[in-house]
Structure 1
Amino acid sequence: MLGLLEIFVLVLTLALSFIIFVPLTGVLVRFRANYNPKGLQLDSEGNAQPHTGPVITSYFAMFKRVYQIEGWSGLYKGLMPTLLSTLFVTAIILLFMDTPSPSHGKYVAPNTSILGTLFYSILMMLLSLPTSVITYRSITTPLRLPYLNPAKSLRVLLTPTERRKPWILYLTPGLLAASVLHILIVVLFLGPIRRLLVPPLETGAFEKISFWRLGVYIVVMIAATIVLSPLEVVAVRLALQRNHASADYNSISQEINADADEQEAEFAGNEEDVIGLRSETDPYLGLLDCGKRMIDEEGVFSLYRAWWITLLGVLGSVASAI
């Protein structure tokens, strides 16, 4: 059991991480989600129409735009689902995992075998995937969501089909594949390379570090960004793609109910939306289809939005490896 001091430190650490990382994560999600096609789009009658959404070319430009349109409340969109999901995962770790001091991160697994780490990472991903979907959607919605009314928020963020069948979130085309592939690369490829090139050292043994191996490891981490960054960008796009009516559900009534729920909410911005989202009438069909369409419609660099954040994440593991 944790003592009072450990609980206080844990709460303080989580609070500081929310204050700092919720706005940064929200800007990242919006930057990667913003739909910015290169060419003309076709309307319902087949006529070419220029794209009218915002053109944001950098992470910091997106930060400025969010603040200008929605203010501080816009920067802290997604706070409540992030808080609830973090508390839920932390409670599971404290109660069921042999991890005395859980850290805030995506794949922070106990020090165990490769298969044990893989099982742990996939389990935590499956537990957190629905809350990740809700968090991403709460960040990107142009509507103002109440902090203390989760039922109303879920009516806006989820389609009637998703509320009726919550497990359908796991069947969102390509989303589970992108998440699992990310884990496989991190655990089965980067993990063994880390153990081989930068084995854990005892305290005070800094002089024993092989700097040429450390250099090779850093180069490998940089190369891994080429694969991991597109997976993270695609995962954001797919998580925002809502699952509409199934074959045994009335699609017309679903659309009416969804519109009624959204009309009850106020817009967070005064004049315009922060980002533009791709039309749900022409959804991505899966992981590869999403990547291909992003390249065709928005250019290959759309897959590398804020790639340097992915790079900082993988390089951060260098410090924890020594």
Structure 2
Amino acid sequence: MLGIIESLSLLAYVGFSLAILVPLSGALVRFRAHYNPKGLQLDSEGGVQPHTGPVISSFFGMLKRVYRIEGWSGLYKGLMPTLLSTLFIMVFLLVFLSDSNLRHGAYNVPSVGVLGTLSYSLFSMLISLPQVIVTDRAITTPHKLPFLQPIYSLRLLLTPTERRRPWLLYLTPGLLAAQVCHIAYVVLGLRSVRKLLLPQLSESGFPTANDISYVKLGIFSAIALLSTFVLTPLEVITTRLAIQRNHAAPEFNSVAQEEEGDAEEGAEYAGVEEDVIGLRNERDPYIGLLDCAKRIIDEEGWAALYRAWWLTMLGSLSGAFA
């Protein structure tokens, strides 16, 4: 087991990382979840009216808007599910990895090939999917969630149907398909190309400059950058589908919810008269991955599928060489 000093250092590092990453990831989720239709809409009487919701055009604009409307507590929405999942991973590492391995860097993930990596990635995704859904909904809800009342928060984030049958989270239309496509592209696509062009990067240790062809390195870097055009829409679609709640009857909207026991009202932010983001009406849900992509394009334009594309580009480029 790790010593006290190492454990405290690890906790301090995790705390510092979460302090920085939670507001940034929260702004990213809200920016991609924000519903901003480009055209005119029909009111309840069939009349034409323009969309009157907030217009947010950038990631940093969203970050400023969250702070202006909800303050620091709004920036740290989603902290508790993120913290709990991080602590779970830390406990696993502390229990199953020896002190000497961690200290001297002797532990290495075994090489299991492309199919083994794909299987492991898909299994990890299935394990973490409920946490991703709860976190994204906690970030995008207009309600103020107390940090130490998980049952109360879950009653706000999950519908009665989802609370009675939590496995329905895995059946959220299109969500699993979007996640599988993202993982398959990265593992079967980018990782396979890297192994073909730059096999030295797949080996243990650090390759020297003489071991790598700069031409092949440039080709692979270009492929990783161009992958942004595929991965960003999948990430936007995943966010939209994760916050779309499952109802027993689709005719109930996000206010009325379902007839049974979803009338609990959540506390709102004091003095706040506007929502940070606009959310799509749950009376007309996305019914799948392709339907979600088509509706986003039709209702909000192609640009909505590429929100914060540069963050995906940076992640794709760094992850490709990891």
TM-score by length of 1: 0.88
Indicate if the aligned counterparts of 1:29 and 1:140 stay in contact, CA closer than 8 A.
yes
Q: Say if 1:195 and 1:290 are closer, same or farther in 2 by CA, change over 3 A.
A: same
| Match 2:272 to one of 264, 270, 295 | 270
Aligned amino acid, residue 258 of structure 2: Q
Residue 231 of structure 1 pairs with residue 234 of structure 2: yes
Aligned amino acid, residue 217 of structure 2: L
Displacement of 1:94? 5.4
Aligned amino acid, residue 295 of structure 2: R
Per mean C-alpha deviation after superposition, the further-off stretch among 284-293 and 59-68 is: 59-68
Show CA shifts across 1:42-89 (max 9, x none). 223322222111111111111111111111111111000111122224
SS of 2:227 mapped into structure 1: helix
Residue 166 of structure 1 pairs with residue 166 of structure 2: yes
Aligned to 1:296: 298
Aligned amino acid, residue 283 of structure 2: T
Give % identity: 59
Show CA shifts across 1:117-155 (max 9, x none). 111111111111001000000001111001000000000
Aligned to 1:55: 55
Aligned to 1:19: 19
Q: How does 1:22-101 map to 2 (within 5 A)?
A: 22-92=22-92
Aligned to 2:288: 286
SS of 2:177 mapped into structure 1: helix
User: Using the alignment, how far apart are the partners of 1:49 and 1:184 within structure 2?
Assistant: 42
Indicate if the aligned counterparts of 2:159 and 2:257 stay in contact, CA closer than 8 A.
no
Indicate if the aligned counterparts of 2:130 and 2:169 stay in contact, CA closer than 8 A.
yes
Aligned to 2:261: 257
Show CA shifts across 1:270-322 (max 9, x none). 221000000000000100000000000000111000011000001112553xx
Indicate if the aligned counterparts of 2:160 and 2:260 stay in contact, CA closer than 8 A.
no
Indicate if the aligned counterparts of 1:33 and 1:277 stay in contact, CA closer than 8 A.
yes
Show CA shifts across 1:176-211 (max 9, x none). 100111111111111111122232264472343221
Displacement of 1:5? 4.2
User: Using the alignment, how far apart are the partners of 1:24 and 1:68 within structure 2?
Assistant: 15
SS of 1:272 mapped into structure 2: coil
Residue 216 of structure 1 pairs with residue 243 of structure 2: no
Q: Say if 1:35 and 1:316 are closer, same or farther in 2 by CA, change over 3 A.
A: same
User: Using the alignment, how far apart are the partners of 2:275 and 2:173 within structure 1?
Assistant: 26
User: Using the alignment, how far apart are the partners of 2:260 and 2:44 within structure 1?
Assistant: 20
Indicate if the aligned counterparts of 2:190 and 2:320 stay in contact, CA closer than 8 A.
no
Aligned to 1:105: none
Aligned amino acid, residue 7 of structure 1: S
Aligned to 2:186: 186
Displacement of 1:254? 2.6
Indicate if the aligned counterparts of 1:142 and 1:268 stay in contact, CA closer than 8 A.
no
Indicate if the aligned counterparts of 1:109 and 1:120 stay in contact, CA closer than 8 A.
no
User: Using the alignment, how far apart are the partners of 2:320 and 2:257 within structure 1?
Assistant: 52
Indicate if the aligned counterparts of 2:225 and 2:313 stay in contact, CA closer than 8 A.
yes
Which 5+ residue runs of structure 1 have no aligned equivalent?
Answer: 102-107
Q: Say if 1:72 and 1:264 are closer, same or farther in 2 by CA, change over 3 A.
A: closer
Aligned to 1:148: 148
Which 5+ residue runs of structure 2 have no aligned equivalent?
Answer: 103-107
Aligned amino acid, residue 54 of structure 2: P
User: Using the alignment, how far apart are the partners of 2:313 and 2:270 within structure 1?
Assistant: 32
Aligned amino acid, residue 227 of structure 2: A
**Runs of 4 or more above 3 Å deviation:** 1-6, 89-98, 108-111, 201-204
Aligned to 1:104: none
